[in-house]
Structure 1
Amino acid sequence: MTTLPDRPNTALLVIDMQHGAVDGAHDLAGVIANIDTLVARARAEAVPVIWVQHSDDHMKYGSDSWQYVPELVRQDPEPVVHKNYGDSFEATELEDLLAERAVGHVVVTGAQTDMCVRSTLHGAFTRGYDVTLVGDAHTTEDLTAYGAPAPAEVVAHTNLYWKEQRAPGRRGNTVEAAKVSFTAGAAG
């Protein structure tokens, strides 16, 4: 249902599952396991897997904090999008990679829920993509000391509000990892 013409395919995005973004994050083991399962399923179904990797003053390119968690392993043909902003589309080649693969629907996983995941959800949606958030495959750190809700509440709220996103010709949805469908036009 995407507004992007002739783009019937789906891609899996794995956003910023790097040490500096996830060490100490909420339900990290569960999120990693769910992402790993989705990556395996996507590969088995010949669905593109695109890895996104953030760098900034706190996660310097090439540093230990910049590295992906070792449980999630990218394979050679799978592209890596290097970014410096929350939205994975902003000043990156992500749109070109998706266009080359005729992708009009993105399935979003990763970190951090209230920063890069949220920015990418909205960035994809406003660019015309259908966007599925995997409700049990994203996480965030505890920022309650700064007035934020507890991480579980951030995840739950994001899952809730994304479930009903609608705009002309496109939609957002939240599903659990076990219910993700990579088939064009599917709800998950």
Structure 2
Amino acid sequence: MTTLTDRPNTALLVVDVQNGVMRVAHERDAVVANIAALVSKARAAGVDVVWVQHSSEELPRDSETWRFVPELELRPSEPVVHKEYGDSFEATDLEEVLAARGVGRLVVAGAQTDACIRSTLHGAIARGYDAALVADAHTTEDLTAYGAPSPAAVIAHTNLYWQFQTAPGRTAGTVPTAEVDFSVKAPA
């Protein structure tokens, strides 16, 4: 259903599951376990896994905080997209990586819910991709000291509104890890 022609494939997009991001993430261990399960499912189904890695003052390249969490093992054949903005498409080669693989549908997981996950979802759908958010495989840190809702509320609200997201010729929505089925192909 993507509006991108000749792009029937799906990719799992794992966003910013890095040591510095996940260190104080809400329900970190459960989210990382769900992402690991998604990675296994995608690989078993022959679906591309694309990793996104953020760099910033807090996450300097090649630092321990910048590295992916040790529970997740990247394969050399899996692309890593380096970014400096919230939207994983902005000033990166993500579009080229996905186009080369014929990807028009994204299954999105990672961190942080209220920043890079939301930005990437909106960036994807605005660019013509179908974009499903894995409801129990994204997280954020506690920013209540700055007036934000609790992490659980941020996650619940994002799941609520993305469940009903639509755009002409594109699909969105949420799905729990247990119901993600990469073996189901998009209609031609």
Same fold, judged at TM 0.5 (above): yes
Instruction: String of CA shifts for 1:97-144, please: whole Å, max 9, x gaps.
Output: 111111110000000000001100000000000000000000000000
Gaps of 5+ in 1: none
Structure 1 position 48 matched with structure 2 position 52: no
Which residue is equivalent to 1:131? 131
* 1:19 CA displacement: 1.3
Secondary structure of the residue aligned to 1:68 is coil
Which residue is equivalent to 1:151? 151
For normalisation by structure 2, the TM-score amounts to 0.97
* 1:20 CA displacement: 1.3
> How many Å separate the matches in 2 of 1:98 and 1:180?
20
* 1:184 CA displacement: 2.8
What is the letter of the counterpart of residue 153 of structure 1?
A
Structure 1 position 58 matched with structure 2 position 58: yes
Q: How does 1:12-161 map to 2 (within 5 A)?
A: 12-161=12-161
* 1:58 CA displacement: 1.0
Which residue is equivalent to 1:5? 5
* 1:180 CA displacement: 1.1
Identity of aligned residues (%): 62
> How many Å separate the matches in 1 of 2:100 and 2:164?
29
What is the letter of the counterpart of residue 146 of structure 1?
Y
> How many Å separate the matches in 2 of 1:150 and 1:185?
36
Structure 1 position 185 matched with structure 2 position 186: yes
Instruction: String of CA shifts for 1:69-106, please: whole Å, max 9, x gaps.
Output: 10011011001000000000001110011111111100
> How many Å separate the matches in 2 of 1:44 and 1:184?
14
What is the letter of the counterpart of residue 176 of structure 1?
P
TM superposition outliers: structure 1 runs of 4+ over 4 Å: none
* Equivalent residue pairs, number: 186
Q: Once superposed, what is the RMSD of the aligned Cα atoms? A: 0.9
* 1:171 CA displacement: 1.6
What is the letter of the counterpart of residue 53 of structure 1?
Q
For normalisation by structure 1, the TM-score amounts to 0.97
Instruction: String of CA shifts for 1:7-55, please: whole Å, max 9, x gaps.
Output: 1110000100011111111111110010001101101111000000000
